[in-house]
């Protein structure tokens, strides 16, 4: 089985799998429900002026086609080598196309000690349907 973050090999350690490359565990103990934020909740926080770091974990071609204004591109497969450059103080909301890669990125960052990180439910697809229809869907 390959790691969803870096593509490395997952090794069995006790009752969980851990990537030998980046240390990611795909079966964390925390509940994923606390790692998600709805598009409406994110929009409300942005409208209130909260300084949220929008982290796009898709590929460059996806980002070039459709993105949330002000977001920063860091593809999921590059996250293990570049996550230390992210602020641990500023709230982070990761997003992707539908929310799978961003939830993986969020789990990874939580496992690396980040405290204020969420995954955008439904990804940019849901965001473009309920918040900003000017963003193309694909």
* CA–CA distance, 105 with 111 (Å, rounded to integer): 10
Mark whether 6 is an active-site residue: no
Among residues 3, 19, 22, 96, which one is catalytic?
96
Residue 138: partners with Cβ closer than 8 Å, 6 or more residues away = 62, 65, 66, 97, 125
Decide the pairing of beta strands 10-13 and 16-19: antiparallel
Tell me the two tokens of residue 106: 């969020």
User: Which residues are catalytically annotated?
Assistant: 96
């Amino acid at each position: 089985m390959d790691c969803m973050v870096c593509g490395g090999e997952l090794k069995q350690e006790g009752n969980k799998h851990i990537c030998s490359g980046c240390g990611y565990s795909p079966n964390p103990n925390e509940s994923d429900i606390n790692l998600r934020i709805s598009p409406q909740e994110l929009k409300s926080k942005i409208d209130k002026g909260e300084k949220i770091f929008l982290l796009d974990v898709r590929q460059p071609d996806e980002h070039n086609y459709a993105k949330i204004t002000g977001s920063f591109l860091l593809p999921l497969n590059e996250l293990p080598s570049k996550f230390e450059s992210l602020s641990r103080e500023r709230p982070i909301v990761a997003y992707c196309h539908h929310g799978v890669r961003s939830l993986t990125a969020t789990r990874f960052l939580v496992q690396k000690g980040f405290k204020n990180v969420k995954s955008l439910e439904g990804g940019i697809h849901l965001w473009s349907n309920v918040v900003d229809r000017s963003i193309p869907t694909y």
